[in-house]
Structures are given as structure tokens and as C-alpha cells.
Amino acid sequence: MLINHPLLGPRDASEFIYKGDAALIHRPDPTAPDAQEVFIDYGYLRDNPAGAHRELWFHEQGDRSWLVVTRDTVTHEITEVELARDVARREGRSK
Amino acid sequence: MSQVNRLNGGLIDQSRSISFRFDDRWMKGHPGDTLASALLANGVRLMGRSFKYHRPRGPLTAGSEEPNAIVELRDGARQEPNTRATTAELFDGLTARSQNRWPSLAFDALSINDRLSSFFAAGFYYKTFMWPAAFWEKLYEPMIRRAAGLGSLSLKADPDNYDKGYLHCDVLIIGAGPAGLAAALTAGEAGLSVILADEDSLAGGRLNAESFAMGQQAGHAWAAETAARLAAMPNVRLMTRTTVLGAFDHGIYGALERVSDHLAVPAEGKPRQILWRIYSRRAILAGGATERPIVFENNDRPGIMLASAMRAYANRWAATPAQEIAVFTNNDDGHRTAADLTAKGVLVAAVIDTRPDAPKGQGYEVIAGGTITNTSGRLGLAQVEVTDAKGNRRQIKCGALGVSGGWNPNVSLTCHQRGRPAWDVDIHAFVPGGTLPEGMVVAGAANGVFSTHAALHAGAEAAVGIAADLGHTAPSPDLPEAEDAPVAITPFWHVSGAKRAWVDQQNDVTAKDIKLAHQENFTSVEHLKRYTTLGMATDQGKTSNMAGLAIMAEVAGKSIPEVGTTMFRPPYTPTAIGAFAGRSRGTDFRPIRKTPSHFWAEEQGAEFVEVGMWLRAQWFPRAGETHWRESVDREVLQTRRSVGVCDVTTLGKIDVQGSDAAEFLNAIYCNGFAKLAVGRTRYGLMLREDGIAMDDGTAGRLAEDHFVVTTTTANAVGVYRHMEFVRQCLYPDMDVQLISTTEAWAQFAVAGPRSRELLRKIVDPEFDMTNEGFPFMACGEITVCGGLRARLFRISFSGELAYEIAVPTRYGDAMIRRLMEAGREFDVVPYGTEALGVMRIEKGHAAGNELNGTTTALNLGMDRMVSTKKDSIGAVLSRREGLNEPDALRLVGLRPVSPDKPVPAGAHLMTKGSAVDAAHDQGYVTSACYSPNLGHQIGLAFLKSGHERMGEILRLVSPLTGIDHEVEVVSAHFVDPEGDRLRA
């Protein structure tokens, strides 16, 4: 597979480490009253779609960017690649 | 002249002779021959014995689809089993042996299996060797393997090298037949970067095997001229002897180049094979088509082969399997064989054409509407029995029979992603269908377009389309006039009523086996394959699958497309494991990382151990020491008595900088770091988000905004990855930067009561080394040896007064030598990882054995470290009820009640008097060693409610190793529990 790195252009998938669902960006609020339950969902429950999947890849043999890759799990077609940091900011994470 | 079946002409060099050996016989061939063509020229049709029934077999094909002529090539370490004689290029001195026969190819004792064939039908093994189950491994399987094996391995290391390579191109063209050559010419002239790959040693594909003209030239001459033109283009890479094995995601293809297979020994510095990964923007599959046989009674005798193969042997290799031949066909293509062989001076006894309206013969007899109903001849074809349209039988004498059942496009690569082939009713074959691999187009015979003219134009058009797609303009190439015959075929798959008619010759699957499988309800085509083994092994059914599907369809009352095909998977042809391994074998299996003191340690005669990719000194044996324990005990005692030095460079070091660095470490570690003073170091425990301990280490604060984090050796990479995840994905606005500096600093532990005195001689005098000036857990940037920048940490893994000193890596070798030299007066000793381990167990420090991916802070006795005043990764889930049960495992020490007894890691703890089983398990030993300070073995263990069970006597058991004795639960801190030495 080729991943079109937003800074470095197309790179072979072997340069990357796969982590999983990009929902991991949404670490729950640890002070919420039901924090235990939502952290269990966050840690253990994943969607397993046959189709578009947003997922985290780490460019370990490269610039060490975490990327959010939108990949079709059936065809491996990659429709979008973004820096995870940009995605995290856009989706409300900060410090 | 021994080459009795050598013809004139061909694309071989008949002016030169080379010698080769098959079994015990030396023979002559010519450069350009394959092993199969040279054997045929020498009158040898019998080349192997079949897999199951040990029936005599000769080549069915002239290419990589060969099921029968499988031999062991070469001798000694280069011996290579299961090689196709049809693709093995002949070289002077080549040696080959037939396989699967004993004692000889002509007389094979196990051919008795053939007489017993009624017992060996499909599913025979499953049905017969069911009972008793215990016999399978010991008796049945070895017996079957001996009888049904193919070639044997040399069991010696392969002396050759295999490389891997990476190529990029605008367009990859697979197959250098007419379509591929026309495509390459068009794309090359348009200025695209082109790779043209073909498995053959010559470009041209079928043009080399046919007698067609291309314009005013012979077809093979046009191919050679075109290949030369392409080779001269700087933007074209012509790769012969290169098989494209698989089509992968995003235009990536795998290909194997056989650089030296055609040579006795690879040229100096050259690999045997190269596994290429080709990144293409577009690809044109021009892989041609494979002829398929017709199934009839005793259709496997040596001398019976595909009609196209017979033509290839005659036209390209100037060899014929016999001087008198016949042809059995259901289409016009079979008649080409008769015409070409006649032109070569071979007698064509008859063409048996299943079609009642068969064309007339050109100087040979045609039996229209005829079939072959049997054959005879021991070890080779002698005659065929023909039944004509009226049902009359007659015998025709011939030494070889060319069979043509039509052509199958080579669709394999189109199916490696999601493509499923579609049935073409005009040519009665599967053509590419469904979703092709991204960027692939198919041209020529691979697409079901069989005439040479059409293939040339399809190839050129495909290239024009791609060039336009990529923003280039391709001029239409000047293509020669070429053969343009229509396909004329009436499907005919098998002659009915046959008893011993072979569908898959490689696996000895008969038409009857397929009917039997259907009768036993293996009706799915994938089940049929696995039950009968149809289409398995080295040829993957390239010549057999279609007939199998047709017979299946017939007995199931379905159409062929309804039955469907099995999956096509890479590799296209068998590929040696060595090619996939490349250079990654033996000591080069993976990179070796050497510590800065490695060469010094080698000089000391150190024993090394692999830790991850690192080689670390395990112990330093001295003259007279005969057992590793002697060395290790000495290193431990001497360190605790005076001073020891150990290279700890391998521990991960991560530089953390930025105004939010402390806040970031607060998130990473479960314990607090925000208030750590500059110049101080703190132990930190990292949790995973699920509350399990991930890694531990220290973080020293060199400045307000600068920390140095250490990790364990094994987790250095994973911790760094995790920290980047937290930084980029969870806290994207924190002002913090990370960089791994593991390899930038050489770091040495200097431990023992005299370590301060030793370091005083190393550290420059302006730095205060007193206990007050540089106390336990201090850290700082200093200079050593008169101005060299260094870092000093007063941390201790051993439990002694200890420091870790870091210098830039290039000074690491000098530093170990300086420490040893300066330490001589203090009786300094180097120690390895074993002594390091002994001392940390004596001190009760957790390491990898305890941080094993299942343990929590609570288990490790560090539950109070998990701060409730702040959030950190893993804090929430570490408070889960299930991880905080009252009887949770706790880290304890163990002492054998009888001091001479061992405490092996992995042994389990049981309450005295309880049953020894999992239900009564109390815990397990994680680390153990002999403590030279205590004079007996000690262990660290996880024990249920261990913190409340000090002094209890437990049973230590290991049923596997026969351990069963008593141990006492003690504190994990065996040495200096109060920590006085650390702070001295």
C-alpha cells in the first residue's frame, strides 16, 4: 500500500506502524461521573466497518508523524490522509 | 549422433554443443535449449513419475505451466528440487535427476500404486487413515510422505545471495509477446518510463514459438529487433527472466528476476535472484494465454503434450518428441501444429478433430468428428486408438500426440485483488472480469484477443490510452502486418466413458475423481479443489482447472460460469523462500546494534547476549573461571564491595523539551512530575490506557523546560511511539517536542561504595560531588576529563551508591577505558547483564519480567504512586474494580526453606496442603537468581494478597520440571531494605 503523507508525499506502508481506529483521538473526560464506563468503551469497543475506516498510522521509519488515514477496508482505497495533530485540533483537542 | 529428434533451424545455437546429465546419462544440447527441449532432442520423453500413482510422465507443456516434467536440478548445496525442466535453461555441465521414483525412472517399484488405483480415489487418505488416530503422526503420514514426495532438499546452506530491489515506473508491462512489445514501443516513444517484464529469457512470447510472419520478417526476428529497440531507449527497462508474481495494492507489483539461474554459478558479485517491488502508476497485463488439454483415456503417456508446446519445441528449439506424430484438437489452432511439424519434416500421421466440420488437411489426414478413446505404449506413447464419427475404432501409430482444447487467457494477475473472471461465450474461456487491480488494463491474449494482429493493436491502444491519462501524447506506432485468424472452436472437454483419464496430471486427479467428489457432495468449486487436490501444487492447475470445472459443471447440470473458478493468489509461479528472505538470513537476519563499549568488551573476552537488536556484554569471564556463575558472582560481590561499571546505553533515552514538558510528563507517567526540581531525577511508572503497567524508568529535569526520560531497553521504541501519540493526538497544543537520543549518548552505570571516588577522578573538579552537593536522585549537565560535555545522574538499579554517566556516543569507547584505568586503585570491575539482573533482584526492583503486560501498579506494589490529584494515561481504568480485588497479586520475595533448593522463574505457588491445579494457584515466580550475598537462590513473585503473607511457607511447584518444595514469603528487598547505601 501507498500512503500519501501530507508533508512527504506517497510513502510505502512498510514505513508505518498501524495503531487502529482514529476514534482513539477522542480520549474521554476523566472527571466525568461515568468515566470508568466511557473509558472502557474508549479502550475496548471498536467499529469494524467493511468500507471507509478512519485510522491512525505512525510514520515510524520517517518523520514520526501520526496520520489519520481514511481507508476502505474492502478495497484498500485511501481517500484522505491528514496529520493527526490537525485532526485532533479540529475535533476539539488542545492541551 | 545421439540427438535423434533434433530438427533443423530454431532459435538455438546449433553450431555449439554443451553437455548435461539427466540421471546417469550425459547428453548433448545447444545454447538456447531448455532441459526439456534438449531431452526431447535426445529422444527422452520420460522425465518423471507422477505424484500418487507413480505413472511415467513426460512434459505436457513448454513453459512455466508444466505439471509433469519436474526434476531436481544441480548438485551439492545448489541442489534444487521440483524445478520445471521446461523452463530450466541449459548450461554446460547442468545436472538433473528425476524425482519420485525408486530405484529408477524406468523401473519404479511404487508404480504398483497405479495397479491399486481403485483404492486411491479422491479422499482416499481421509477415508483410510482415520483410525487409530495415534497412527497418523507416527505411521501413516511418514509412509504417505515417502511414497508421494516430490524432490528432496540438499539440507545444506544455499551458497548464493538473493537480493531485493525497488523500482518505480509510469507503466509496467507484464509480458513481452506481441501485445506487450507493441505497448512498450508505444509507451516508450511517448516518453513514459516503462518496465517491460517477461518470465522468458527471450522477448517475443508466442512469436518465438510460431512460424508467423510479421510484415516482411519472421515473427521472432521482429520480436528480437523490437526488443533491441526498446533496450536502447533510456526510459525503458526490459527485464527478461522476470516473472511478475503478484498484483498488490495501489499499483505495486512483486516480480522475481532470475539473474543467474541459467548459469552454473552466479557471476562474481551477482545474486542468484532478485525480488523486485515495482511501484507503477499504470500497468498493462499482456500475459498471453495457456493452451488447455482434452481429457481422454490414458492421456498422460510421455509423448502426449499440448499442441502448442509441440509447435514451440519444433519452431523455437528444433526438437520433436517423435518422428511420427498425431494431433487431437477441437479448434483450428491444432491444425497449425500439424502444418508446422510437417514443414519441419516430421511425419503427421493424422489430425483427429472432434468437429464434424473440421477443415481439410494440408498434406496430412484429418479425421473429422473423431476422438481418441485410448492410448498405449510402455514408458511412452506408441499408438492411439481413434474412434471416428461413425463409431469405428482404429489404431494409429505415433510417438507423440499434440492436444489442443482451446486457449485460456492468463487472468491470474487480474484476480489478485478483487477481480473474478467472466465467461466469454465466443472463445469458451474465462476472461478478466470484475474489479481489476488499480491502474491495470489487459491487452492481447490475456484479454481473450487471440490473433497476433489484434494483440499488437490492443497493446498499442492500451499504451496510447495510458499515455494520454498521464499527460503524454503517444504517436501510433508503425505496426507490421500480422496473422489475424478468427477463433474457431467447438468446446470439447473430455471423451466420455474413460476410466483412467487425467484432468490434473500433477496431482493425479482423474475425471472419475471429480465425479466422485460431486457424488459425495463436494459441490462448491473450492471444496472440489481441496477434496481432490485439483489445481494444487507447483502448477496451480494452469492446464487442468478448466477441464475440471467443465466436468464438474457437466455432472452438476450447471454451466461453467455457474460453477465458477477458484481464487487466484500470488505467486504466479513457485518462488524460492530464499528470494523472500533476501539478505536477511543467518547473522544478517536483522541489524545488530553494538554498544559504545562493544569493542572494548570484546577485548576483555566478554560473552554477549542479544537484547532486542542490541548485543550486550552478559558477563566478563576471567582466566580460571569455568562456569558463568563464577564470573557473575564475582562481578556482583566486587561491585557491592568496591565499584563496578556496566554499559547501560541500550536503555531508551527520550529528550523532552518545551514549556509544557512537565505537564506532558504528568500525562505520561502515573506519578507526578510537575513539581520536580531542576537538577533532580524521579522514578516514573507509565501505564497503558487500560490501566496495565507499560514501562518504567527515570526522568531527570535538566532545566525548567528540559527533561531526559529513560525507558527499558526492550520498550524504547514503543514508549517513544506512545509518547508521540499522546503529544500529537491527545494534546496537540502542548508546547513540547520529543526526540530519541538513545544512540546519541553512551551511558555507563558506575555502582558501588567507591563509585564516588572513581567518578571524582573523571568529573571535572569544579563540579561538587559530595553527598550534599550531588545527593541521591540528583542530575546535571557537567564536563568530564577536562571539558567534555557529559550528563550525570545519581540513580541506582543495583541498590548501591551509584551513578549513571553519559557522554556523546563517540566518546563511549574512550570513557569505558578511562573508567577502568582510573578505577584500578579502587578494584573496579566491569559487569554484564547477568550481574545487573542479580543485583536488581537482590534489591527487589521490577524489570521486564514483572512489567510483563499483565500487571498493574497495584501488583507491583506501586498503587500509591498513581496520583489522584491529576489525570494521567491509564489512571481511570487502573481504578477498575477487577484490577483492585482484595486478593490481587502483589510483588513479594521468595526464599527457599532449604537453602540448597532452586527458585525457578515460571514455577507456581500453592498453599500448603492444597491441590496443585489452576483453581488453587496462588501466584508465580517472575525473576530468580542465585544471590552470592545471601548464599542461596532468591526469587521475585506475584502472590495473591502477598503483602499480607510475609513469613508464610508456601509450596513452590513446577510439574514440568519436577520442582516441589517449600519457600518462605519475604520482602522483595533482600539487600539494604532501608536504602542506606543509596544515600551514602
- DSSP states of B573-632 as a string? S---HHHHHTT-SGGGSS--EE-TTHHHHHHTT-EEEEETTEEEEEE---TT--SHHHHH
Indicate yes or no: CB of B732 within 8 angstroms of CB of A43. no
Phi-psi region at B123: left, alpha or beta (left = phi > 0; alpha = psi -120 to 50): left
Within A1-95, strands assigned E span 2-5, 9-12, 17-21, 52-58, 66-72, 78-83
CA distance B584 to chain A (A): 16
pLDDT tens for B319-345 read: 999 999 999 999 999 999 999 999 999
pLDDT tens for B97-125 read: 998 887 788 888 778 778 777 766 776 66
pLDDT (average), residues B154-174: 96
| Mean pLDDT, chain B, integer | 95
pLDDT above 90: percentage of residues in chain B:
90
* pLDDT value of residue B153: 86
Nearest-10 Cα torsion for B525, B531, B534, B536: 110
Indicate yes or no: CB of B730 within 8 angstroms of CB of A88. yes
- Identify residue B505 by its one-letter amino acid code: Q
CA distance B437 to chain A (A): 10
- pLDDT over threshold 60, residue B1: no
CA distance A22 to chain B (A): 9
Q: What angle do CA B24, B25, B27 make, to 5 degrees?
A: 150
A9 vs B contacts (CB less than 8 Å) = none
* pLDDT value of residue B887: 95
Sequence-distant (6+) residues with CB within 8 A of B603 are: none
Chain B contact for A35 (CB, 8 A cutoff): yes
CA distance B250 to chain A (A): 6
Residues forming a β-bridge with B412:
none
pLDDT (average), residues B43-60: 93
pLDDT (average), residues B69-95: 95
pLDDT (average), residues B777-786: 97
User: Which residue, B166, B147, B185, is CA-closest to B54?
Assistant: B147
- pLDDT over threshold 80, residue B769: yes
Q: Widest CA span of chain B, in angstroms?
A: 115
Indicate yes or no: CB of A1 within 8 angstroms of CB of B877. no
pLDDT tens for B835-844 read: 999 999 999 9
CA distance B867 to chain A (A): 13
Indicate yes or no: CB of B879 within 8 angstroms of CB of A30. no
Q: Give the Cα separation of B177 and B289 in Å (integer).
A: 10
**How far apart are the two ends of chain A, measured CA to CA in Å?**
33
Chain B contact for A81 (CB, 8 A cutoff): no
C-alpha cell at B691: 490501566
Distance of CA B303 to the CA centre of its chain: 37
B residues 393-422 lying closer than 8 A (beta carbon) to A: 417-418
Q: Give the Cα separation of B153 and B611 in Å (integer).
A: 33
pLDDT tens for B534-543 read: 998 889 999 9
Q: Kindly report the backbone phi and psi dihedral angles of residue B290, in degrees, each rounded to the nearest multiple of 5, phi listed first.
A: -120, 135
Q: Give the Cα separation of B202 and B176 in Å (integer).
A: 9
CA distance A59 to chain B (A): 10
Best of B866, B876, B879, B880 to substitute, by most chain A Cβ atoms within 10 angstroms, is B876
C-alpha cell at B605: 573476552
Q: What angle do CA B788, B793, B794 make, to 5 degrees?
A: 130
Sequence-distant (6+) residues with CB within 8 A of B727 are: B664, B734, B736, B738
pLDDT tens for A64-88 read: 999 999 999 999 999 999 999 999 9
Indicate yes or no: CB of A75 within 8 angstroms of CB of B724. no
* pLDDT value of residue B567: 87
Residue whose cell numbers read 470445472: B549
- pLDDT over threshold 90, residue A20: yes
Chain B contact for A1 (CB, 8 A cutoff): yes
Angle between helices B307-315 and B333-343 in degrees, nearest 10: 30
Nearest residue in chain A measured CA to CA from B736:
A95
Concatenate the DSSP letters of all residues of B163-184 into one string: EEEEEEEEEEEE--SHHHHHHH
| Residue B569, burial from CB neighbour count under 10 angstroms (0-12, 13-18, 19+) | exposed
B460 sits in which H/E element: helix B452-469
User: Which residue, B846, B773, B769, B844, is CA-closest to B805?
Assistant: B769
Nearest residue in chain B measured CA to CA from A55:
B729
Strand, coil or helix: A64 = coil
A66 vs B contacts (CB less than 8 Å) = 724-725, 728-729
Contact B429, B561 (CB under 8 A): no
User: Which residue, A91, A83, A37, A29, is CA-closest to A57?
Assistant: A83
Chain A contact for B275 (CB, 8 A cutoff): no
Contact B910, B723 (CB under 8 A): no
* pLDDT value of residue B127: 67
Indicate yes or no: CB of A58 within 8 angstroms of CB of B731. no
Residue whose cell numbers read 552505570: B749
* pLDDT value of residue B128: 63
Phi-psi region at B277: left, alpha or beta (left = phi > 0; alpha = psi -120 to 50): beta
User: Which residue, B33, B52, B53, B54, is CA-closest to B44?
Assistant: B33
pLDDT (average), residues B632-639: 98
Q: Widest CA span of chain A, in angstroms?
A: 44
| Residue B703, burial from CB neighbour count under 10 angstroms (0-12, 13-18, 19+) | exposed
* pLDDT value of residue B285: 98
* pLDDT value of residue B243: 98
Q: Give the Cα separation of B290 and B761 in Å (integer).
A: 80
Interface pTM (ipTM) of the complex? 0.99
Within 13 Å of residue B626, how many CA atoms lie on the same side as its CB?
A: 0
Indicate yes or no: CB of B876 within 8 angstroms of CB of A30. yes
Distance of CA B459 to the CA centre of its chain: 34
- pLDDT over threshold 70, residue B145: no
Contact B408, B429 (CB under 8 A): yes
- pLDDT over threshold 80, residue B93: yes
Sequence-distant (6+) residues with CB within 8 A of B52 are: B113, B120, B148, B507, B508
- Identify residue B110 by its one-letter amino acid code: L
Q: Give the Cα separation of A26 and B689 in Å (integer).
A: 13
Indicate yes or no: CB of A85 within 8 angstroms of CB of B663. no
Chain B contact for A67 (CB, 8 A cutoff): no
Residue B241 has a CB neighbour count (10 Å cut-off) of 20
B884 vs A contacts (CB less than 8 Å) = none
Q: How many CB pairs under 8 A join A and B?
A: 84
Q: What angle do CA B143, B146, B148 make, to 5 degrees?
A: 105
Chain A contact for B251 (CB, 8 A cutoff): yes
- pLDDT over threshold 80, residue B291: yes
* pLDDT value of residue B624: 95
Q: Give the Cα separation of B950 and B894 in Å (integer).
A: 10
Chain B contact for A85 (CB, 8 A cutoff): yes
Sequence-distant (6+) residues with CB within 8 A of B825 are: none
Nearest residue in chain A measured CA to CA from B733:
A94
Best of A1, A27, A55 to substitute, by most chain B Cβ atoms within 10 angstroms, is A27
A26 vs B contacts (CB less than 8 Å) = none
pLDDT tens for B887-936 read: 999 999 999 999 999 999 999 999 999 999 999 999 999 999 999 999 99
Q: Give the Cα separation of B60 and B52 in Å (integer).
A: 17
Chain B contact for A7 (CB, 8 A cutoff): no
C-alpha cell at B929: 537468581
B residues 432-461 lying closer than 8 A (beta carbon) to A: 435, 438
Chain B contact for A46 (CB, 8 A cutoff): no
* pLDDT value of residue B771: 97
Indicate yes or no: CB of B729 within 8 angstroms of CB of A66. yes
* pLDDT value of residue B102: 77
Indicate yes or no: CB of A30 within 8 angstroms of CB of B875. yes
Residues forming a β-bridge with A24:
none
- pLDDT over threshold 60, residue B792: yes
Outline where B865-908 has alpha helix (H): 875-878
Chain A contact for B731 (CB, 8 A cutoff): yes
* pLDDT value of residue B147: 64
- pLDDT over threshold 60, residue A13: yes
* pLDDT value of residue B150: 72
- pLDDT over threshold 60, residue B496: yes
User: Which residue, B103, B95, B48, is CA-closest to B70?
Assistant: B48
Concatenate the DSSP letters of all residues of B232-272 into one string: T-TTEEEE-SEEEEEE-GGGEEEEEE-SSTTSSSPPTT--S
Q: Which residue in A2, A39, A66 is closest to B724 by CB distance?
A: A66
- pLDDT over threshold 90, residue A31: yes
Q: Looking at residue A53, what DSSP letter applies?
A: E
Nearest residue in chain A measured CA to CA from B874:
A39
C-alpha cell at B591: 541489524
pLDDT tens for B440-449 read: 999 999 999 9
Indicate yes or no: CB of A43 within 8 angstroms of CB of B871. no
Within B99-241, strands assigned E span 162-174, 194-197, 213-214, 217-218, 236-239
* pLDDT value of residue B126: 66
C-alpha cell at B5: 529428434
- pLDDT band for position B362 (50/70/90)? confident
CA distance B435 to chain A (A): 10
Chain A contact for B880 (CB, 8 A cutoff): yes
Q: Give the Cα separation of B229 and B196 in Å (integer).
A: 13
* pLDDT value of residue B129: 62
Q: Give the Cα separation of B242 and B196 in Å (integer).
A: 9
* pLDDT value of residue B477: 83
- pLDDT band for position B131 (50/70/90)? low
* pLDDT value of residue B79: 94
CA distance B809 to chain A (A): 22
pLDDT (average), residues B480-503: 93
pLDDT tens for B249-290 read: 999 999 999 999 999 999 999 999 999 999 999 999 999 999
